[in-house]
Amino acid sequence: MGGWRFGNTIDGCQAEFVLVPDAMVNLAPVPHELTDEQVLMCPDIMSTGFSGAESGKIRIGDTVVVFALGPIGLCAVAGARLMGATTIIGVDAIAERLAMARSLGVDHTVDFSQGDPVKAIMALIDGRGVDVAIEALGTQATFEGALRVLRPGGTLSSLGVYSSDLRIPLDAFAAGLGDARIVTTLCPGGKERMRRLMDVIASGRLDLGSMVTHRFKLDQIEEAYEMFSHQRDGVLKVAITT
């Protein structure tokens, strides 16, 4: 379960020391040429976002849409680009996140606050539908939107954490005849996974440093959580240091 396990199934890492279960297979050393902040996203955000692209089985030449451009959605954009997608569409309503997505490889952005994102996406791709739709928020609206923009035989790769029951509209699901595939993924972890992700950072092919918008010391953690929970001051991700 990767870094998601900390704070969800066992006590987390926001302490001076933490016991890591099965450390021989779960811990990977950070290469000397990389800083802690450069690999900050690897155990959770980057691994989860990349897994959305991997589970969607993106191929060279694919058209991909990512619904919601928070940290995980942004990493899904980066993963889709690395896997060979040639047209990537990002959907959000926050200008800073749309701009960040463009810097990571999005070709087209759709602001859902300006109208129906499904219509906007289909207009961009001449009504063909996308090969892979990645849902990275966890709402009925984004899940349904991702389903509605799929081409026949396309894949909906779901990363969102849903807090209520999902409905699958009959027409969007083509009455079950559209050959659509719906897959879900939860933050792959492990030593080999971390080595690969750190190799991506070390190669220079991806720089996620700009996603860290704020930095706090450990004794300021309550202030950091308050800012993050209210999404103040353009916060995207917060780095906590000792």
> How do the domains of the chain map onto residue ranges?
43-184, 212-242
Return the structure tokens found at 14: 């926001």
Q: String of b and e for 72-102 (b: at least 16 CB within 10 Å)?
A: bbbbbbbbbbbbebebbbbbbebeebbebbb
Q: DSSP string covering the chain, please?
A: -GGGGBTTTB--S-SS--PPTTHHHH--PPPTTS-TTTTTTIIIIIHHHHHHHHHTT--TT-EEEEE--SHHHHHHHHHHHHTT-SEEEEEES-HHHHHHHHHHT-SEEEEGGGS-HHHHHHHHTTT--EEEEEE-S--HHHHHHHHHTEEEEEEEEE----SS-----TTTTGGGTS--EEEE-----SHHHHHHHHHHHHTTS---GGGEEEEEEGGGHHHHHHHHHTT-TT--EEEEE-
Q: What is the pLDDT of residue 130?
A: 98
Q: What is the pLDDT of residue 4?
A: 74
Architecture in CATH for domain 43-184: 3-Layer(aba) Sandwich (3.40)
Residue 30 CB-density burial (10 A; 0-12 exposed, 13-18 middle, 19+ buried): middle
- CA atoms of 91 and 45, how far apart (whole Å): 18
For residue 41, what are the CA distances in angstroms to 36, 124, 174?
Answer: 10, 31, 37
- According to DSSP, the β-strands at 212-217 and 63-67 are unpaired
Low-confidence ranges of the chain (pLDDT < 70): 1-2
Q: What is the pLDDT of residue 71?
A: 95
Tokens 């890591």 correspond to 20
Q: What is the pLDDT of residue 1?
A: 63
Look at residues 236, 208, 238, 202 and name the one whose alpha carbon lies nearest to residue 223. Answer: 238
Q: What is the pLDDT of residue 20?
A: 86
User: Do 64 and 80 meet the contact criterion of CB atoms below 8 Å apart?
Assistant: yes
